[in-house]
């Protein structure tokens, strides 16, 4: 072979190798090269791997010490930024019980080093089983273990919200984040940027990140228009827990604890999601139902009786669990149907994320996961620029990438609710038939179960929030 031919062959080989290594540059959807990412998993995705520091170091204030705020603080601190979290409450705390942590967020959390702080608290479930409301017959099935670990390089956890929040807090402190409680924000000046606390103290920063939830005070300041809060969807959810010890003592309910898994009963305009948390000691229930009255008129003292009345005639096993509920809280489901026009103030020094920016129905179990992705993507975007003058560009790219992702997830959650709540009849029967292959364990290419549908599943769980930002910067 001539020298020219050798060089040509070498160039072609390097070009080919480069294309395989730089899979981020591909413009078509494929998972055919996913095996290559696994080769680097040990070094680049090991638990708590050290992040490449940002060349631009900023003083950042995160408003809100919930799951989204702490996640953003951790992601930013790992890049070398000085981060302070301001929380309005006297102490950090999460309302509610169980929360699902799917692979697109657990992958990030593990990379940040959360594993030791969740040891013995998170439960990795084997599957999600969809059941018919009346008799509990299996109508859909998503196998999680080991499938999701193998396909998406991370576990699918369920965990108590308080345990997850505490783990994030400990991890944030480990990364040098300052957390200040009893720090309620009264006013923002996005142009400086600065904020004023209820004590009258003014705080300034290079960047303010608002993660202050559905009732965000920052949102109208960023939008520079009257606030457009999430709307009441006319659905609500009872949240409750039951002792698994009590369930094991009842023949009606003991069967539900045979294997660690999530069970979802689907019925007309209603559904019940149930799974074990707190290392299997507590059974968590999320009970969705239509609620057309004004939430301000709800009486919490008759919640238990009303909840049981709404689900009379359902599968005796889940009714048996509901009979054990001693107290419950009822929450209105608030969500945006369409995406907000912006998340970043026009001066490029203040932004919002999490529920403040994209509150969604909980039916894809992705609300908190989207906030984790928001924080990871924000830290990555800032790391792509080297000067404060370029912060506007960094935030603009981040906003564009995240708006696309979260608006898609908002739509997916809305569709999920429609799929789950069919009245008994032709649509319900067609839905159940479309899921029959996954129940029988035979090959399928589509499903009304969005957790199993191959296209929706890969889009949801294979998503790499950091990579998407890097790709957007190159474009």
Given a contact cutoff of 8 angstroms between Cβ atoms, the answer to whether 237 and 272 are in contact is no
The whole model's pTM is what?
A: 0.92
Residue 352, C-beta contacts closer than 8 angstroms, at least 6 positions apart: 209, 210, 211, 212, 216, 218, 219, 222, 343
Query: How far, CA to CA in Å, does 407 sit from each of 92, 166, 366?
Result: 29, 29, 12
**Which tokens belong to 286?**
């999320």
Query: What are the structural domains, with CATH classification, of the chain?
Result: 59-230+336-474 (3.50.50.60)
Least confident of 17-26, 70-79, 168-177: 17-26
pLDDT grade for 440, boundaries at 50, 70 and 90:
very high
Q: How much is the pLDDT for 40?
A: 61
pLDDT tens digit sequence for 311-334: 999 999 999 999 999 999 999 999
Q: What percent of the chain has pLDDT over 90?
A: 84
Given a contact cutoff of 8 angstroms between Cβ atoms, the answer to whether 269 and 289 are in contact is yes
pLDDT tens digit sequence for 3-37: 443 343 334 333 434 445 566 767 788 888 777 77
Q: Angle 103-112/465-474 helices, nearest 10 degrees?
A: 90
| Residue 45 scores a pLDDT above 60 | no
CA dist., res. 140 & res. 437, Å (int): 9
In 10 A of CB 204, how many CB atoms? 12
Q: How much is the pLDDT for 449?
A: 98
The average pLDDT across 206-217 equals 97
Q: How much is the pLDDT for 47?
A: 64
Mean residue pLDDT across the chain:
92
Residue 97, C-beta contacts closer than 8 angstroms, at least 6 positions apart: 160, 161, 239, 240, 241, 277, 282, 284
């Amino acid at each position: 072979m001539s020298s020219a031919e050798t060089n040509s062959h070498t160039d072609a080989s390097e070009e080919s190798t480069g294309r395989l290594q730089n899979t981020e540059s591909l413009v078509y959807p494929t998972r055919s090269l996913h095996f290559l990412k696994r080769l680097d998993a040990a070094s680049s995705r090991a638990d708590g791997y050290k992040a490449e520091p940002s060349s631009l170091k900023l003083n950042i204030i995160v408003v809100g010490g919930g799951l989204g705020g702490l996640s953003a603080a951790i992601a930013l601190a790992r890049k070398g930024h000085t981060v302070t979290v301001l929380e309005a409450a006297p102490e950090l705390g999460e309302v509610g019980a169980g929360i699902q942590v799917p692979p697109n967020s657990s992958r990030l959390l593990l990379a940040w080093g959360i594993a030791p702080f969740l040891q013995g608290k998170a439960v990795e479930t084997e599957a999600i089983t969809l059941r018919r409301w009346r008799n509990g017959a299996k109508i859909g099935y998503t196998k999680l273990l080991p499938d999701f670990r193998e396909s998406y390089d991370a576990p699918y956890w369920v965990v108590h919200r308080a345990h997850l929040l505490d783990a994030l807090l400990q991890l944030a402190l480990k990364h040098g984040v300052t957390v200040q409680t009893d720090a309620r924000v009264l006013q923002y000046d996005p142009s400086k940027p600065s904020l004023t606390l209820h004590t009258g103290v003014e705080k300034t920063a290079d960047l303010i990140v608002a993660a202050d939830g559905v009732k965000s005070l920052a949102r109208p300041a960023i939008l520079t228009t009257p606030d457009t809060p999430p709307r009441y969807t006319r659905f609500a959810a009872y949240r409750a827990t039951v002792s698994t010890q009590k369930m094991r003592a009842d023949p009606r309910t003991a069967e539900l604890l045979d294997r660690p898994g999530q069970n979802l009963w689907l019925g007309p305009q209603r559904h019940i999601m149930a799974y074990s948390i707190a290392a299997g000691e507590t059974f968590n229930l999320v009970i969705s139902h239509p609620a057309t009255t004004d939430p301000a008129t709800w009486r919490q003292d008759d919640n238990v009786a009303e909840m049981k009345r709404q689900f009379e005639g359902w599968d005796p096993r889940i009714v048996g669990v509901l009979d054990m509920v001693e107290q419950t809280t009822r929450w209105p489901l608030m969500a945006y149907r369409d995406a907000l026009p912006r998340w970043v103030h026009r001066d490029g020094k203040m932004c919002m994320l999490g529920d403040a920016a994209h509150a969604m129905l909980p039916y894809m179990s992705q609300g908190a996961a989207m906030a984790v992705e928001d924080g990871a993507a924000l830290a990555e975007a800032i790391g792509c620029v080297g000067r404060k003058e370029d912060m506007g560009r960094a935030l603009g790219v981040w906003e564009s990438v995240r708006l696309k992702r979260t608006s898609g997830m908002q739509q997916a959650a809305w569709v999920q609710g429609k799929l789950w709540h069919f009245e008994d009849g032709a649509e319900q029967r067609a839905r159940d038939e479309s899921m029959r292959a996954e129940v029988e364990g035979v090959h399928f290419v589509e499903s009304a179960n969005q957790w199993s549908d191959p296209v929706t599943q890969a889009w949801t769980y294979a998503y790499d929030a950091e990579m998407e930002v890097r790709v957007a910067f190159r474009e």
